[in-house]
Amino acid sequence: MKRKWMLLIVAVLLVLAACSSAEDNATTEEGAAGNPVTIAGTNGEVKLDAPAKKVVVLEWTYAEDLLAVGVQPAGMADIADYGNYVNIEPQLDETVVDVGGRQEPNLEAIAAIEPDLIIGVSFRHDAMLAELETIAPTVIFNPYPEDENIDLYQEMETTFKEIAKAVDKTAEAEQVLADLEKEYDESASAIEAANLKTKDVILTLAYTGPQAPEIRVFTPNSMASIILERIGLNNVHQPDQFEVFGSSTFNVEGLVKYENANYLYTVPDEDNIYENQLKGNPVWENLAFVKEDRTYDLGADTWLYGGPLSAKTLMDQITTVMVNK
């Protein structure tokens, strides 16, 4: 009797599971305008029958890439927080649908949008790739390649071009990058003209760790650092080891060896370690760049990790603060 029940349950479940294999992927949309495109992500080549019109982005950087070529994403993850960290033009449209958190985006919400393409980032979305692919073709990018020979600026450009290709905006993307190059040159001459005491810099992002500040110092292979170099500044931070994320974590002691450089920083308004914890600390106050007033605040919402628009914001901010101070 009891065993019969058990068997029954198992049988029912087995039948249910068997049904699943019958249900195959939805057939891809046909008859859409445009030529087929192929995009290369870390999950291999992704073929689209036509350039994507409705794109769901699960990571901020890639939303920015879309915005740069004038395309609004159809859906996006963590919209509320995006506004706190990323300050770029054009802004995200009101109509963009929130599809949940970046870490565990809501699959049903994504599917409800019926996107032509989903863009994810490898360190979050590799695990759910199979599920995402049942909704729409999915491309995954890795902003932090393990390969030491690829700097993060190159990676940004490559990904940006791939995303632009996916929405048929290759020409626009080339234009954005070309404009950027021109602006680097302009910034470089502005900085040249500013007659800085030194062009050595370090660039940092700080936040409160366990009751004490933690300071990320960007390494030469990071996107932000390469922008510095393009406008004629010199990043003096040389890490002891390859930092795959493009920054080393320091506390205030670690800054000592770079005190002769200029100190470029961004820090959240609500967690300003320079106003709070470090104020009055003799080590901080006696660093040469603090004593000689060579610290430059880039603003709380200058995103150091994004795409070409963030790159432009960063460049503008650096140029403005360094020339005007």
Binding mask 16-55 for other proteins (x = CB under 8 A): xx--xx-x--x-----------------------------
Angle, helices 152-166 vs 308-324, to 10°: value is 130
**Cβ contact 49:29 at 8 Å:** yes
Tell which one of 178, 209, 269, 292 touches other proteins (CB under 8 A). Answer: 209
Say how far apart CA 114 and CA 74 lie, in whole Å: 9
Report the site for other proteins in 66-85 (rule: CB under 8 A).
81, 84
Compute the least distance from the CB of residue 16 to other proteins, in Å.
6
Q: Tell me whether residue 38 or residue 249 sits nearer to other proteins (CB atom).
A: 249
Residue 274: half-sphere exposure toward Cβ, Cα within 13 Å: 19
CA atoms lying within 13 Å on the CB side of residue 171: 0
Nearer to other proteins, 131 or 192 (CB): 131
List, in sequence order, every beta strand (DSSP E) within the chain: 37-41, 44-48, 55-57, 75-76, 97-98, 117-121, 138-141, 200-208, 213-218, 234-235, 247-250, 262-266, 295-297
278 is an interface residue for other proteins by CB under 8 A: yes
Identify residues 248-267 at the interface with other proteins (CB under 8 A): 248-254, 256-257
Q: Which is nearer to other proteins, 175 or 286 (CB)?
A: 286
To the nearest whole angstrom, how small is the minimum distance from the Cβ of residue 197 to other proteins? 21
CA 68 to each of CA 34, 89, 180: distance values in angstroms, whole numbers, following the listed order: 21, 8, 11
Q: Give the span between the Cα atoms of 182 and 179, in whole angstroms.
A: 5
Asked if 130 interacts with other proteins (CB under 8 A), we say yes
Q: Which stretch binds other proteins (CB under 8 A): 88-96, 152-160, 222-230, 280-288?
A: 280-288
Nearer to other proteins, 194 or 236 (CB): 236
In b/e form, how buried is each residue of 25-48, taking b as 16+ CB within 10 angstroms?
eeeeeeeeeeeebebebebeebeb
Pick one of 28, 38, 134, 189: the residue that binds other proteins (CB under 8 A).
134
- Does residue 103 interact with other proteins by CB under 8 A? yes
Say if residues 90 and 314 touch (Cβ distance below 8 Å). Answer: no
CB contact at 8 A, 46 and 39: yes
Size of the site for other proteins (CB under 8 A): 67
Looking at residue 96, what DSSP letter applies? P
Q: Minimum CB separation from other proteins for residue 260, in Å?
A: 13
Among 234, 245, 290, 320, binds other proteins (CB under 8 A): 245
Cβ contact 117:56 at 8 Å: yes
- Site for other proteins, rule CB under 8 A: 1-3, 5-6, 10, 13-14, 16-17, 20-21, 23, 26, 81, 84, 98-101, 103-109, 111-112, 123-124, 126-128, 130-131, 134-135, 144, 146, 207-214, 244-245, 248-254, 256-257, 271, 277-278, 280-283, 286
